[in-house]
Structure 1
Amino acid sequence: MSPNSKRSPRSDATRSMARLLSAARELIAESGPEVALDEIARRAGVGNATLYRHFPTRADLLVAVYGDEIAELCRSGTEPADSGPPLDALFTWLGKFVVHVATKRPLALAATEGPSDRRTPLFEEWHTSITAAADVLVERARPALRPDITTTDVLALATGVALAADADGEHAHRLVGLLRTGLVSGSAGVDQSSWSSGE
């Protein structure tokens, strides 16, 4: 009996789902959320029946893809605290958040098209996850921040930056650098040159 013959149906299903999500992320990045589902199945190397078994509707697939994007963004904020000063860690993550909002907004809206009773809980779930990740970073950086700054303030300002930024990442990084000068206490940890250059 070959090793492959011992694979359980559940493990095969897990691998198929992972391939579908990976293919969907790639194609959505290339062509947008309206990419044909048949094309996603082809790139994943599975049949259409397998795709629809895992994701009965386009919205189900888009929700799964965007949920993965949110999870990845939140995980990136939980990297080891000793990877750098807490203030730098916060603004590095905010740079990723700004790029996420600026580039993934069409996917988020496409994933939640339809009745509000579907959209509202999804957005609340994603917002809760992002807020929790940001809160950890804000609290670690708290000694260097203005004392009146809250996580809600930080995310609201960063979202505004994302919506105001040009499509290129350089402009977004410059705006995040300017945001940093307004959030820190005094001149603590401000190196405008590094943030305006997108480093």
Structure 2
Amino acid sequence: MTESPRQRPMRADARRNYERIVAAAQEVFAVDGADASLEEIARRAGVGSATLHRHFPTRRSLLEVVFHDRVEALCARAREHAERSAPGDALIAWLRDLNIYAAASRGLASSLLRDGRDADLLQQNDDCRAMITAAAGELLHGAQRAGSLRPGVQTEDLLTLVNAISLATEHHGDDAQANRLLDLAVDGIRMPR
């Protein structure tokens, strides 16, 4: 097994190439989705295809790195919402963050739902899927304990709702529609007044 760039120190020029590739991949994946051209990523990074493949031997290895940092930031947002808002409001605010993240990370939705070619993409060493599930679960349970959410709602229900919205709207380029659909879903999970 070869060591990943995260496990061994790199020369300064190799580190710069690695960072440029990841930055270019984030941009290209956001526009073209998980099936984006690796050649386009290499071109935007200003490196050759061989350099890209030396750092990332497979598309999957590049996707894992790109998604990992974004997932960590998303989970940090969950903690921030929990600290600053009432439990129900914190959950709803984070679901909006997740909705935006899913729209900006085309291909993530199918990975979370486990029905795409990279169905287990987020099941890597850092276990991104588990991080998202844990963040959603903590917010959900807090909202349920506070009585602001229906008691039967489960974490997977919330993740499936947001990802279904992302899948349904990703080819329309209409973020407003995704937000309206999330608002409808949120109304359905809140406790009736």
**TM-score in same-fold range (> 0.5):** yes
Q: Structure 2 counterpart of 1:41, which letter?
A: A
Q: Which amino acid aligns with 1:62?
A: L
Q: How many Å apart are 1:15 and its aligned residue?
A: 3.7
Is this contact kept in 2: 1:59–1:113, CA < 8 A?
no
Quick one: distance in 2 between partners of 1:128 and 1:65? 17
SS of match in other structure, 1:185: coil
CA apart distance, 1:67: 3.1
Q: Residues 9-24 of structure 1 correspond to what in structure 2 (within 5 A)?
A: 9-10=10-11, 12-24=13-25
Bigger mean CA deviation after superposition, 28-37 or 133-142: 28-37
Residue deviations 1:88-117 (CA, integer Å, cap 9, x gap)? 22112212323444453436769x747xxx
Distance in 2 between residues matched to 1:68 and 1:52, nearest whole Å: 20
Residue 154 (1) aligns with residue 158 (2): yes
Shift in alpha-carbon separation, 1:157–1:52, aligned structure 2, 3 A? closer
CA distance in 1, matches of 2:35, 2:165: 26
Q: How many residues align?
A: 175
Alignment-derived partner of residue 37 in structure 1: 38
Q: Given the superposition, is the C-alpha separation of residues 53 and 73 from structure 1 closer, same or farther in structure 2, using an over 3 Å criterion? A: same
The residue aligned with 2:85 is 84
Relative to its length, the structure with more helix (as a share) is 1
Q: Distance in 2 between the 1:104 and 1:10 partners?
A: 30
Aligned alpha-carbon RMSD (Å): 3.2
Return 5+ residue gaps in structure 1 as ranges: 1-7, 188-199
TM-score (norm 1): 0.68
- 1:7-156 alignment to 2 at 5 Å? 9-10=10-11, 12-79=13-80, 81-102=82-103, 104-106=105-107, 113=117, 119-120=119-120, 122-123=122-123, 125-142=127-144, 143=146, 144-156=148-160
Question: Cα–Cα, structure 1 residues 120 and 39, in superposed 2: closer, same or farther, change >3 Å?
Answer: closer
Please give the TM-score of this superposition, normalised by the length of structure 2: 0.70
Rounded Cα–Cα distance in structure 1 between residues aligned with 2:103 and 2:31: 16
Structure 2 unaligned spans of 5+: 1-8
